[in-house]
Chain A
Amino acid sequence: MIWQLDLIIMVLVIAAGIGAISVKDNLGAAILFGAYSFLMCLLWAIMGAVDVAFTEASVGAGVSTVFFVAAVFRTTRRTKD
């Protein structure tokens, strides 16, 4: 495990997570959540849990982003708060 790489990904995970809950645009939040899932997938792969990383990449970064975008498309892009 390379700690520099680990640190960079960890910082990006936290940045993507905070961005996903604080951004006003719902579509942006969905995309940031996809980025968060992908970075988590990298983190799992670094830790050696390849099966979990695979699931995270296909479910978290793949299909659930499509579901979020579909839900945003059929509701509204702006949040109330």
Chain B
Amino acid sequence: MRIFGLLTVLLCGGLLIYHTADFPAWGDPASPASTHLSPYYIEHSIDDTMVPNLVTAVLADYRSYDTMFETVVVFAAGIACFFLLRAAKSKTPESMLYRHIPTGITLRIEKGSKTPPDSADFERIDSVWVPYDLIIKITCRLLVPFIQLFALYVVAHGHHSPGGGFQGGVIFGAALILFALTHNLSNSLKRINEKTSALFAASGVLVYAGTGILCLLLGANFLDYSALAPLLGGDPKMAHSHGILIVEIGVAIAVMAVMVWIYYNLASRGRHDEGL
């Protein structure tokens, strides 16, 4: 069976490599894509959409329908992780670890014993015991706001430079995951809980699809942003640029929330009590 599998893989790989020889060379100006498709975008995209970055113009305007369903795929990935991993009832563990913050002493409390009061002096820590590391915590706490600011810059500046909703959303989500890694999972659940992340994931998709529906209601095609000109002010071409920004913000919200949501479910086996 293994040999049969190996032969299949080798055959398919060989056929694929053999047929790549028929492809046009990299950057070939005479290839069909460069003669029929690209010149239109290069010549017209700045007139159509007022967006200097060609990639953003193609991604969020000419092929906006495709990008909308990419966002839906990301949302579906978050939902799938939720349904596969989330444990309905959280089991009380055999023992729990608490840290007494003023003295730094770690307490181990067996099942059924009295737990420390929910005060600022005690902090529940993960059962895979990691030493309290002030340097890592403080460094990451200082770093997180700057990463988040950079993520917002990437989202907002996608019109002029590489970037956009997906990248900015992932970077924002990564900043929140960094916070959850260096602090506790419960600490980060206090800031963004599961409900918030699920709501954000759904509302990001809603912003995208809602923009399309709004265009439809205003009498244009689905996701034809020029219909938004009376609402946003300015001419229809600027409306394209603003419409792309709105849609990118929707993508960023959805991607950010889904990344955090998947991390919560993966890192805690779906129990949402202890992280990495």
Contact = CB atoms under 8 A, between A and B. Distances in A.
Contacts, number: 51
A17 to B, nearest CB: 12
Interface of B: 26, 53, 55-56, 154, 162-164, 166-167, 170-171, 173-174, 177, 181, 259, 262-263, 266-269, 276
Contacts of B171: 58, 62
Interface of A: 47, 50-51, 53-55, 58-59, 62-63, 66-67, 69-71, 73-74
B162 A66 contact: no
Given A62-B174, A67-B266, 19 more contacts: A51-B53, A51-B164, A54-B163, A55-B166, A55-B167, A58-B171, A58-B174, A59-B167, A63-B170, A63-B173, A63-B259, A69-B276, A70-B263, A70-B276, A71-B266, A73-B267, A74-B267, A74-B268, A74-B269
B163 A51 contact: yes
Given A63-B173, A67-B262, A74-B269, A58 B276 contact: no
Interface of chain A: mostly helix, strand, loop or mixed: helix
A76 to B, nearest CB: 13
A67 B173 CA distance: 12
B269 A50 contact: no
B170 A58 contact: yes
